[in-house]
Structure 1
Amino acid sequence: MSGAGLLLYQIFVYRHVHKYLGSIISSRIAAVLSIPLLATYPFMTHLSGTKLGLAIYCAAVMKGAFATTILTGTCILQNSAVPQNQRGAANGISTTAMSLFKAIAPAGAGVLFSWAQKRQHAAFFPGMLLIY
């Protein structure tokens, strides 16, 4: 269902968002709105039943819409920044970099988490405060 919501967003909504706000502002707004959206996930555990399902569904659609807005805006900016004969190389480099960081991020997060677990009684940034 969230995929269908994302498809509808891409077909009917994103075009107008990009037209009125542009690539930079729409990407910035989506990035800023992603932070409070992701911060609400822990509070959804207090819901149950239909309310929980509806909250998760809406959050998934909004998260996907924000991610689509950011990624599409970034691609448009990148393709506008280089000459047409270099777009393939620029897209290849950016896709490679994105894949590299997606591969490194879980390992880096695991290292940071284990380091934070060892620092439970440290004077500066003890335990989980180190992560946040």
Structure 2
Amino acid sequence: MNPVGHPGEAVGLHGKYDGQPGPTVVQYTTVNVTTEPPKDHIIWSLCCFFYSNPCCLGLAALVYSIKARDRKWVGDVEGARHYGNTAKCLNIWATVLACVIVLIFIIVISVVASQAQAAARYINQNPYSRWNN
């Protein structure tokens, strides 16, 4: 079933359609895919090793970063990518754990300081309490 005024033949969608039937031209282009070398995350591993090394995760990340760098020098791209991804994962865990530990430390210090301030205020308000004996 053809609508009125339209031809019954199929028309390609490539290029500009001027109403005249004709061959369609498909152009193929070459895509150059450049793969970047795998990252070894050595700087991040060094920072995690020196500044935040909970459960020795920074040390493990540094070891895997060095292995990734060695694999990259040898030419084993897949091995370097594997070691680099492992180092990245360990660095993420070390950074998150260090941030959580610092946050818990800040909360504990603020709670202890608040309790000490409340105790000092209580002692100053009640000089004959059991704390002064």
Q: Fold conserved (TM > 0.5)?
A: no
- Going by fraction, where is helix more abundant, 1 or 2? 1
Higher RCO (CA < 8 A, seq sep 6+): 1
Which is higher, the Rg of structure 1 or of structure 2?
2
TM-score with structure 1 setting the length: 0.35
